[in-house]
């Protein structure tokens, strides 16, 4: 029987297709993992911003989670937007039912600046979920919320990654430097050593969904059994090419190109 690697995302939606569940499923598919999804919130948004959000009830969230764990294999999972404390609690308790690497993208605001999580509930990400992760992938503003201090330099990023693992109990931390000036560098700390992942900064306004796409790619590679540093290395390449070949769609920050690695795309656009 053919074996397939199964990856699950637990996140909010993006009808414009660049971020959230939609970006995650496209990424899983592109990287040849079988994609599954549990919706936390149905979000009305596009490239210009968030218009509204409908948060699912705790019971219905749990019903979806159980539908997966009672029936389907999960080889790796990620979480994205989790809008409030009660949903975080449900997911935290349900995580006891799965034995798979867990990647948390601690989504707080959309690229447009609109909040995706209730501010007073941000701290519960730390309490309920961070200690259960294999990896947390904060950008700079999210790192500042998690560690409670300003991040201005690459040295600050490394120090914060250490704090997230040592003091907050994450399995590993990948602090992403997309919001700093200069090279696009991310630092991974796995409790033992640092790894650095660098790419040139691509001059593109189309970065809607980069964080979702990156963490989904890491999850896909983990579902296939790659070790964490290798999974991040390959995912960094994937997200960099997705930004390089991004689409000028919509009136705001356009989406990345989830099929940028396909040979025909290179032939067509390089």
Ligand X SMILES: Nc1ncnc2c1ncn2[C@@H]1O[C@H](COP(=O)(O)OP(=O)(O)O)[C@@H](O)[C@H]1O
Ligand Y SMILES: Cc1ncc(COP(=O)(O)O)c(N)n1
Measured CA to CA, the distance from residue 163 to residue 169 in angstroms comes to 9
Binding flag, residue 240, ligand Y (CB under 6 A): no
The distance of closest approach from Cβ of residue 59 to ligand X in the complex, given in angstroms and rounded to an integer, is 30
Is residue 176 annotated as part of the catalytic site, yes or no?
yes
Residue 139 tokens read as 């950008």
Footprint (CB under 6 A) of ligand Y, residues 167-186? none
Measured CA to CA, the distance from residue 104 to residue 85 in angstroms comes to 15
Strands (E) in 56-134, as ranges, are: 76-79, 102-104
Contact flags string 33-62 toward ligand Y, x per CB under 6 A: ----------x-x-----------------
Residue 182 tokens read as 């200069």
Q: What is the DSSP letter of 200?
A: P
Among 136, 164, 212, 220, binds ligand Y (CB under 6 A): 212
The distance of closest approach from Cβ of residue 3 to ligand X in the complex, given in angstroms and rounded to an integer, is 30
List the one residue out of 88, 75, 77 whose CA is nearest residue 125: 88
Instruction: Write the DSSP assignment of 169-187 as a string of letters.
Output: --S-EEEE-TTSSSSEEEE
By beta-carbon proximity to ligand Y, the closer residue of 188 and 239 is 239
Measured CA to CA, the distance from residue 256 to residue 249 in angstroms comes to 10
The distance of closest approach from Cβ of residue 4 to ligand Y in the complex, given in angstroms and rounded to an integer, is 26
Among 7, 8, 10, 19, binds ligand Y (CB under 6 A): 19
Contact flags string 63-102 toward ligand Y, x per CB under 6 A: -----------------xx---------------------
Residue at token pair 């449900």:
90
Q: Which residues are catalytic?
A: 176, 207, 209-212
Q: Which residues bind ligand Y (CB under 6 A)?
A: 11-14, 19-20, 43, 45, 80-81, 107, 110-111, 116, 208-212
């Amino acid at each position: 029987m053919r074996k397939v690697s199964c990856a699950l995302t637990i996140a909010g939606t993006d009808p414009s297709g660049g971020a959230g569940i939609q970006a995650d499923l496209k990424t899983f598919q592109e990287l040849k993992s079988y994609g599954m999804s549990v919706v936390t919130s149905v979000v009305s948004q596009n490239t210009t911003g968030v218009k509204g959000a409908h948060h699912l009830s705790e019971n219905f969230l749990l019903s979806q989670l159980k539908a997966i764990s009672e029936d389907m294999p999960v080889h790796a999972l990620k979480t994205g937007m989790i809008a409030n404390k009660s949903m975080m609690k449900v997911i935290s308790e349900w995580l006891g039912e799965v034995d798979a690497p867990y990647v948390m993208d601690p989504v707080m605001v959309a690229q447009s600046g609109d909040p995706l999580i209730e501010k007073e509930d941000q701290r519960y990400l730390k309490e309920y979920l961070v200690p259960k992760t294999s990896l947390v992938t904060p950008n700079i503003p999210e790192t500042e919320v998690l560690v409670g201090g300003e991040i201005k330099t690459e040295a600050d990023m490394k120090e914060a990654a250490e704090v997230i693992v040592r003091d907050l109990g994450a399995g590993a931390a990948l602090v992403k430097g997309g919001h700093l000036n200069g090279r696009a560098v991310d630092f991974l700390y796995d409790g033992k050593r640092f790894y650095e992942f660098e790419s040139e900064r691509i001059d593109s306004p189309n970065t809607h969904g980069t964080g979702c796409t990156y963490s989904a790619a890491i999850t896909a590679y983990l579902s296939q059994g790659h070790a964490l540093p290798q999974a991040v290395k390959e995912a960094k390449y994937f997200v960099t090419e997705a930004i390089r070949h991004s689409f000028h769609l919509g009136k705001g920050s356009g989406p990345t190109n989830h099929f940028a690695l396909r040979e025909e795309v290179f032939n067509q656009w390089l």
